[in-house]
Amino acid sequence: MENTKNKKSFSFHIIKREQTVWYKGLAIRAAAVLLALVVSGIVITLLTDKNPLAVYKSMWSGAFGMDIRVWSLFQDVAILLCISLAVTPAFKMKFWNIGAEGQVLIGGLATVSVMMFLGGKIPLPLLLIIMVVASILAGIIWAVLPAIFKAYWNTNETLFTLMMNYVAIQLVSYFLKVFVKTGSGVLFPMPEFGFPVLFGQPYLLNIIIVVALTIAVYIYLKYTKQGYEISVVGESQNTANYIGINVKKVVIRTLIVSGALCGIAGLLLVGGTNHTINTETAGGRGFTAIMVSWLAKFNPFFMVVTSFIIVFLQKGAQQVSTDFRLPQAISDIVTGIILFFIIGCEFFLNYKIVLSKNGKEND
Amino acid sequence: MLAFLVSAIRLGMVFLFGSTGEILTEKSGHLNLGTPGVMCVGASCGCFAEYLYLKSVGPFASPVLAILVAVVATFAGAALMGLLFSFLTVTLRANQNVTGLALTTLGIGISDYMIAKAGTSFGRASKYFTASLPFADDLGWFGELFFSHGVMIYLAIIVALVCSFVLSKTRVGLNLRSVGENPATADAAGINVSRYRYVATCIGSGISGLGGLTFIMDYLNGNWEYCIDAFGWLSIALVIFTVWKPNLAILGSIIFGALYIASSYITGVSFAGKELFKMLPYIVTIIVLIITSMRNKKKNQPPESLGLPYFREER
Amino acid sequence: MATAAIELKNITKTFGSIVANRDVNLSVNRGEILSILGENGSGKTTLMNMISGIYFPDSGQIFIDGKEVVIRSPKDAFDHKIGMIHQHFKLVDVFSATENIILGLKGKDKYNIKESAKKVEEISHKYGFDIDPNKMIHEMSVSEKQTVEIIKVLYRGADILILDEPTAVLTPQETEKLFKVLRRMRDDGKSIIIITHKLHEVLSLSDRVSVLRKGEYIGTVETANTSESELTEMMVGKKISLNIYRSEPKDCEDRLTVENINCVSREGVKLLNSVSFTAKSGEILGIAGIAGSGQRELLEAIAGLQHIDSGEIIYNNPKTGTQDNLRDKTPIQIRDLGVRLSFVPEDRLGMGLVGNMGITDNMMLRSYRKGKSVFLERKAPHDLAEKIISDLEVVTPGTETPVRRLSGGNVQKVLVGREIAAAPTVLMAAYPVRGLDINSSYLIYNLLNEQKERGVAVIFVGEDLDVLLELCDRILVIGSGSVTGIVDARTTTKEEIGLLMTKGKGEEK
C-alpha cells in the first residue's frame, strides 16, 4: 500500500504510471543516453586529464572518421542487431535465453566446418547453401535442448542456456585443435569460401541480410499467428491455456526460431566477416544483445537504435583509447555505464515519485 | 596424483568463494548474473590496492598487512558492485537478469582497465598469499594435502562454514531464507525485505570477489594471465550443483576444480581431446540441473522467488 | 457483564464509493466464541482486517478491555494480543513448522530451534493440536498448515484469535478436531472470533452470533436461543425486487448433460463430488453456492481446462444431432468437434483477456486461428471491437488501448461481448457482474437474456441470491463440491437456497 520513507515531515510515494506519453518516454530515454554520454566523458576525462571536448571529438572520429570505420560501424551494428533479433521472440515469451553467445558460436563452428571440409570440393553456390543450412541447424540444436527441458520439466532455462555457452566454447577450442595441425589453435581465414563481396564492400551483404531479417522479425512478431501466440504465452499462460494454445509447443517452436537466427548470426560472423573462428568470435555480443532487446522493449526497429548507440559508444571509446593511449577496456566501461543509465531510466518510465508534505496521512 | 589434488583444492577455493557469495545472494531472492564482473572487479581492486601498498612501503612490507590490504580492498570493491546491483533491482526495480549482465560487462571493463594500469605481475604479493604453514613440509603427503596451502584457501573454507552456519542455525539466516522463498510472508512477519536483499547481495558480492583475488594471487601465483569471468559463471553453476548449500559447496568446489584441471593431468588423451574434458564442469551442471528439475524435490529447488522482484504494492 | 475483551463501536469503512462496513457494533468477552455470519461480500473479512491492523477504519472506535485503542498495523494488533488466521496461509513451504512459527520474531533469547520446537509442542499439547514441529510445510495437509498458523498466533501470546473461514478447506473430521481445539482455548479464557457462513457450524460451536448483511450490522443473538431459520433470515434478508426481465423458456432441449463428474485436487482434496445436471437450451441455469464450493472447477471441467477423474460431459449437437463426450478434451478439440462453447471466466484479466493487449487483439484470442494463412487477419477482429464498443457502450480511448486500463465494467463488456460474438450454443459465465455498477450489471443481465431467447443454454454462476432468483429459470445449488439441490427459481425462496448452500459435507451423513 504505502511505500514511504519517513525521514522528516515529508515523504515520497512511488506510484506506478498508468501510461507514459510517447514524447515523455522518448525524452526520458534521450536524457538517459545524454547523461550516460556526459558521465562517460567525465570518466574518460578524469582518467586522461584531456579536454572533454577532445574526448568527444575522438569518439566521433572513431565511429565516423573514415569510410572504413563507418562500414565497420554498420557491420558491428548489423551483427549485434542480428543476435538481438534472435533472442527477442524467446524473451517476448518470457523465456530467458542467455545462451545466444553459444548459439552464435556453434552456428559459426558449423559454418567453418563446412568451409574446411567441403570448401573447394563443391561449387561455391552449393557450398554457401550448405553453410546456411548447417549454421541454422546447429543454432537450433543449441537453443531447442533447453527449450524441451523447460517445456516438459520446467528446467531453469537461464542457467541451462548459460552452461551451453561454455560447452560451445570448449567445442570450438576442441575443433580448432583438430583442424589446425600445427597446434597453434589459430585457424587461417578462408575468404575464398566466404560470402561474395557486393560492390566492393565486404560487409554490404551482411548488412542487407540483417536489414531483411529485421523486417522479417518485425512482421513475424506483429503480424503472424505464431507471433501472436508468443505474445499471449508471454503475457499470461492462463489465458493461453484458456484459449487452447499448446504452451509446450509454442515454447519449443519459438526457441527453434531463436536458435535459427543465432545460427545465422554465426554464419554472418564466420562466412561473411572473419572467415575463421576462435572462442572470442561472438565476443560477448550474445549478452549485450539481451540488453539491446530488453531495452528496446522487443521492438526490432527500436533495437536498431539501441544497438547503434551501443556500438557507436564502443567504437568511439576504442578510438579514445588509441588516441590517448588508454587501455582498450575503456570501451567496456563506457558500454557498462550506458547500459546502466538505460536500465535505470526504465524506472522513471514506469513509475513516478510523488512528494507529499505530511507523511503521516497515508492509506 | 598428489599434485593434482593440491591443484584441485587451490582452484576449487576460487569456486568456493564465488559460489558461497552467490548462494548468500540467491538465498535473498537475487539471481546475480553479474558475479563474473563482481569477481573481476574484486580481484583487480585487490591487486591494485596491493600494487599501491607495495609501491608505497618499498621493500619493507608487512606480510600480514599486505594480505589484509588486498582482502579488504577486494571485499570493498566487490561489495560496491553488489550495491550497484541492489540499487538497480530493489530501488529502481530493474530486471535482475539484465542488470546482472550489464554488471558483468562493466565489471570486466573496470578490471581490465585497472590491471592495465597496475601491470599484470604480482609475484611479490603472491608470495605472501601462498606462504604455507611452516610445519607442512615435515608431514609428508599429509602435510602437503592439508597444510601446504596459502591463507586464502583456509579463509574460503572458514567463510563457507560460517555462511552455512548463519544460514541454517541463526535467526538472521532464517529471516534471509524466508525473504528468498516467500517475500510476502517475510514482509507480513515484519522482516524488511529490501534491507535483507541489499545486505545479502553486498556481502555475497564481497565474498565472491575474494574468489577472484584467490585465483590471481594463489592459483596463478600473481600473474594476471587471462580474464576470470569464466570462473564467475562456473561459480553460478556450482551453486546449482551444490543445491544452495555452502557446506556442500566445499566438496563441490574441489570436484569442480578437479574437473576443470583434469584435462592437464590425464594421460593418453590427445591434445585436442583435453579441450573436450574442459567441458565436464558445464555438462555436469546441466545434468544436475535437469535431474533436480525432473525429481522436483522441494528440498533441492532454488529459492522459490529467485529472480523475482518484490514490491509490496504489486502483490 | 464484565468488560468485553474487544469491542467495536460504530465502525465504518468505505472503499471509494463502496461501503464495506457501516456502523458495525460488536463485542467479544473473555472465554467466548463469537461467530460472524454473513454472505459473500457482507463485509465480514473487511471488519476483521480492521481489528488485525490491515485496514484502518474511516470512523468508529475499538476498545480492548474497556480502553480505546488505535490499531494501524499488524504489529499494533499483535501488541494488543490480537492474532488473525487468514484464509490464505502465509507460510514458507520449505521451512519446518517451528521455523515458520518463529519467523520474524525479534527474540532476546538465543535462537534455538530445539527450544522453540519444545515450546510449540507444549502449546499443541495444551490445546490438543496434533502437529510435528519439525515437519516441512510442503509435506503438510491443509489442516496441518492451518494448525501451524494457529500455533504461530498462540506462540506470540495472542489472547484474541480471529479465524477467517477456517473450515472452508477442511474435511468434516478435521473440522470437528478444530472445533474441539477452539473450545479448549475458550475454556482457557481466550476470545475467539470465527468468520463463517455455515449455519450448522455456527450453532454447534459458538456462544453468540453476530450477523452482517451487505456491510450492515443486523444484530447479535445467543446461539442457544436461535434457530437455523432465524439466522438464515437475518443473513439473507427479505427479498428485494430488482425487476430483472425474465421471459418464459421456449423450445427447451437438453444441450449439455453432466453425469457424475468427480474431481480431486493435487493435494487429494475432493473438488467436485458426483456432480450431475443438465443444461437446457433456451434457459438460464443458475449456480448458487458459497464462493469456492467447486463452481470454478465445474466450469473449467466443462471447458476442458480441468482434468476430471471420472464422469461424463455429454454435448448434444443441435446441428448434427450427435452426442459428443467432452471429457478430457482440450479446448481446441472441443471446438473442433463443432461445440460452440463460450466461457466468461471469473478471472477476467488473468484468464479471459490479456490485460496488456488492446481490444482488437483480445478479440483475436478466439478467432485468430481462422483460415490457413500464417498471417493474422486484423480487419474482422477490429470491426468486432468497434461493434462491441458501440453496441455495449464501452468507454475506452480506442480499440488499441490496453484493456487493463479500462474500468471493471468495461473490461467485462469486452469479455462478454467477445464470448457472445462467437454465436455460442452454450454460454458459461462465472460471476459476470462482480464489481460492476448497477447499469453495467443490468446490461450484462440483458445480454444473457438475449442469448437465452436465441436458444442458447446459459449457465450463470452468481453470488447475489436476489439476482439468481429473478434472472434464472432453474438454480443448481452447490455445497462443498456436491450438488445439494436443483430448484425452480420461480417458486423457491431465498431461505431455501440459503439453507441448501450452507449444507456442507458435515451434513451429508
CA distance B302 to B177: 11
Which stretches in chain A have pLDDT values below 70? 1-20, 183-185, 194-198, 200-201, 354-363
C406 contacts: CB under 8 Å, gap ≥ 6: C394, C395, C396, C414
CA nearest A238 in C: which residue? C351
In a domain, A138, yes or no: yes
Which amino acid appears at position A267 of this protein? L
How far is the C-alpha of B187 from the C-alpha of A2, rounded, in Å?
A: 13
The residue out of C370, C396, C422 marking a domain boundary is C422
Interface predicted TM-score (ipTM): 0.80
Q: Give the A:B interface size as CB pairs under 8 Å.
A: 159
* Each residue's pLDDT tens digit, B62-103: 778 888 888 999 999 999 999 999 999 988 888 888 899 889
The alpha-carbon gap from A220 to the nearest alpha carbon of chain C, in Å, equals 8
Percent of chain A residues topping a pLDDT of 90: 17
Residue C248 placed within a domain: no
Average pLDDT, chain A: 81
**Per-residue pLDDT reduced to its tens digit, A69-101:** 778 888 888 999 999 999 999 988 888 888 888
The answer to whether residue A334 sits within a structural domain is: no
Per DSSP, C350 falls in state I
Q: How many domains does chain C have?
A: 3
Q: Is A272 in contact with A206 (CB distance < 8 Å)?
A: yes
Q: Which long-range contacts (CB under 8 A, 24 or more apart) does C438-445 make?
A: C439/C409, C440/C409, C440/C410, C440/C412, C440/C413, C441/C467, C442/C244, C443/C392, C443/C393, C443/C413, C444/C412, C444/C413, C444/C416, C445/C244, C445/C245, C445/C471
Cβ atoms of B29 and B306 closer than 8 Å: yes
Co-location of C412 and C457 in the same domain: no
| Residue C258: CATH number of its domain | 3.40.50.300
Beta carbons of A363 and C375 less than 8 Å apart: no
Q: What is the pLDDT of residues C131-148, one digit of tens each?
A: 888 888 888 877 888 889
How far is B98 from chain A, CA to nearest CA, in Å? 6
pLDDT for residue C78? 82
Mean pLDDT of B137-154: 71
How far apart are the C-alpha atoms of B13 and B235, rounded to whole Å?
10
Residue C90 lies in a domain: yes
Angstrom distance (rounded) from CA C481 to CA C270? 7
The answer to whether the Cβ–Cβ distance between C354 and A236 falls below 8 Å is yes
Record: contact C357-A238, CB cut-off 8 A: no
Please report residues of B whose CB lies closer than 8 A to that of A13.
Answer: none
- Using a CB-CB cut-off of 8 Å, the residues of chain A touching B311 are 3
Lookup: cell for C274: 458426483
Chain centre distance of CA A278? 19
CA distance C318 to C339: 10
- Give the residue on A whose Cα is nearest the Cα of B312: A1
Q: Which domain range does residue A134 map to? A: 76-297
From A279, which residue of chain B is nearest by alpha-carbon distance? Answer: B275
**Rounded Cα distance, C187 and C209, in Å:** 18
In this predicted structure, what is the pLDDT of residue B20?
93
Please indicate, yes or no, whether residues C303 and C360 belong to a single structural domain of this protein. Answer: no
**Average pLDDT over all residues of chain C:** 84
Neighbours of B, requiring at least 3 CB pairs below 8 Å, are A, C
Return the number of other C-beta atoms located less than 10 Å from residue A305's C-beta: 17
Distance from CA of A232 to the nearest CA of C (A): 7
Task: Report the residue from C92, C106, C107 with minimal CB separation from B182.
Answer: C92
C271 and C411 share one domain: no
pLDDT band at C508 (very low <50, low <70, confident <90, very high): very low
Q: Is residue C345 part of a domain?
A: no
- The answer to whether residue C198 is domain-embedded is yes
- Interface contact flag, C92 B185, Cβ < 8 Å: yes
> How many degrees, rounded to 5, is the angle at CA A147 between CA A145 and CA A153?
100
- Indicate the class that CATH gives domain B2-314: mainly alpha
User: How is residue A10 written as a grid cell?
Assistant: 515529508
At residue B23 the predicted structure's pLDDT band, cuts being 50, 70 and 90, is: very high
Closest to B146 (Cα-Cα) out of B254, B299, B235 = B254
Instruction: Answer whether residue C452 shows pLDDT above 60.
Output: yes
DSSP string, C304-349: T-S--SEEEEEEE-TTT--EEE-TT--HHHHHHTT--EEEE-S-II
The A residues from 200 to 229 touching C (CB cutoff 8 Å) are 223-228
Give the nearest chain C residue to A245 (CA atoms).
Answer: C332
Q: Do A290 and B101 touch (CB under 8 A)?
A: yes
In the predicted model, is pLDDT for residue B301 greater than 80?
Answer: no
What is the identity of the amino acid at B70?
A: A
Q: Please name the residues between 45 and 84 in chain C that touch chain B, using a CB distance below 8 Å.
A: 74-75
Residue A310 lies in a domain: no
Counting the structural domains of chain A, the total is: 1
Half-sphere exposure of A261 (CA within 13 A, CB side): 30
Q: Which of A179-193, B198-212, C59-73 has the highest mean pLDDT?
A: B198-212
> Which residues 104-123 of C are in CB contact (within 8 Å) with B?
104-107, 111, 113
Give the minimum alpha-carbon distance from B57 to chain C in angstroms, rounded to a whole number: 46
Say whether both C333 and C482 belong to one domain. Answer: yes
Of B170, B178, B301, the CB nearest to C103: B178
d(CA C315, CA C312): 10
User: Is B171 within 8 Å of C107 when comparing Cβ atoms?
Assistant: yes
Please tell me which of the candidates B191, B299, B304 has its beta carbon nearest to residue C104: B191
Give the number of other CB atoms < 10 A from CB of residue A128. 19
Residue C411 grid cell = 473490461
C-alpha cell at A114: 563446412
Torsion sign over Cα A87, A89, A91, A92? positive
Place of cell 515450546: C119
pLDDT tens digits, C489-503: 888 887 788 778 776
| Test the A interface: residue of C56, C329, C365 with most A CBs within 10 Å | C365
CB of B165 closer than 8 Å to CB of B186: no
Question: Using the beta-carbon criterion (under 8 Å), do C111 and B174 form an inter-chain contact?
Answer: yes
B175 — contact with chain C (CB < 8 Å)? yes
Among the residue ranges A216-220, A291-295, C110-114, C206-210, the one predicted with the least confidence is: C110-114
Q: Is C376 on the interface with B (CB under 8 A)?
A: no
Report chain B residues whose CB lies below 8 A from the CB of A101. Answer: none
Nearest to C92 among B178, B190, B301 (CB): B178
Give the one of C343, C353, C405 whose C-beta lies nearest to A19's C-beta: C405
Of the partner residues C350, C354, C374, the one whose CB lies closest to the CB of residue A224:
C374
Q: How far is A291 from chain C (nearest CA, A)?
A: 22
Are B106 and A290 a contacting pair at CB < 8 A?
no
Chain C CB contacts of B189 under 8 Å are 90, 103-104
The span from the CA of B163 to the CA of B12, in Å, is 17
**What average pLDDT does this structure show over C303-314?**
88
> Is the CB of residue B137 less than 8 Å away from at least one CB of chain C?
no
Position A278 in a domain: yes
- Alpha carbons B94 and A345: distance in angstroms, whole number: 9
Sign of CA dihedral A242, A247, A248, A253: positive
Amino acid at C232: T
Question: Looking at the complex, does the CB of residue C332 fall below 8 Å from at least one CB of chain A?
Answer: yes
Q: Chain A: residue nearest C370 by CA?
A: A225
Residue C485: pLDDT band (50, 70, 90) is: confident
**Burial of B314 per CB tally in 10 Å (0-12, 13-18, 19+):** exposed
User: What proportion of chain C, given as a percentage, has pLDDT over 70?
Assistant: 94
C-alpha cell at A124: 561455391
Whole-number pLDDT of residue B76: 93
- Closest residue, chain C, to B180 (C-alpha): C92
Task: Show the domain range for C452.
Answer: 254-340+424-507
Q: Where are the alpha helices (DSSP H) in chain B?
A: 2-27, 35-57, 63-86, 96-118, 123-130, 140-146, 151-169, 171-181, 183-188, 193-214, 229-241, 246-265, 273-277, 280-295
Could you say which of B175, B184, B298 has the minimum Cβ distance to residue C94?
A: B298
Average pLDDT, stretch B188-215?
Answer: 90
Say how far apart CA A65 and CA A68 lie, in whole Å: 8
pTM comes to 0.83
What is the bridge-based pairing of β-strands C323-325 and C216-222? Answer: unpaired
User: Nearest Cα to B47, choosing from B73, B16, B10?
Assistant: B73
Q: Where are the domains of chain B?
A: 2-314
Nearby residues of A129 by Cβ (< 8 Å), 6 or more positions away: none
Task: Measure B115 CA to nearest chain A CA, in Å.
Answer: 9
Dihedral sign (CA A266, A268, A271, A275): negative
d(CA C435, CA B102): 44
- Chain C positions in Cβ-Cβ contact with residue A236 (cut-off 8 Å): 350-351, 354-355
User: For the residues C456-472, what does the mean pLDDT come to?
Assistant: 87
Instruction: State the DSSP code for A2.
Output: -
| One domain, residues C135 and C259 | no
Give me the residue from B101, B108, B271 closest to A177, CB to CB: B271
Calpha distance B17→B206 (Å, rounded) = 9
Average pLDDT for residues B244-258, to the nearest whole number?
88
C92, C149, C153: which to substitute to probe chain B, counting the most B Cβ within 10 Å?
C92
Cα separation, B239 vs B232, whole angstroms: 11
Q: Quote the distance between the C-alpha of residue C190 and its chain's center.
A: 29
CB contact under 8 A, A231 and C405: no
Interface test with C, best of A233, A237, A238, A253 (most C CBs within 10 A): A238
Average pLDDT, chain B: 83
Arithmetic mean of pLDDT, C66-78: 83
Choose from A18, A20, A22, A236 for mutation: most chain C CBs within 10 A: A236
Mean pLDDT of C356-365: 87
Judge if C182 and C114 occupy the same domain.
yes
Whether residues C132 and C216 fall in one domain:
yes
Q: Provide, as residue numbers in chain B, all residues whose Cβ is less than 8 Å from the Cβ of A282.
A: none
Q: What are phi and psi of C380, to 5 degrees?
A: -65, -45
Q: What is the pLDDT of residue C390?
A: 87
Pairwise CB contact (< 8 Å): A177 & B275: yes
- Strand ranges inside B21-60, DSSP E: none
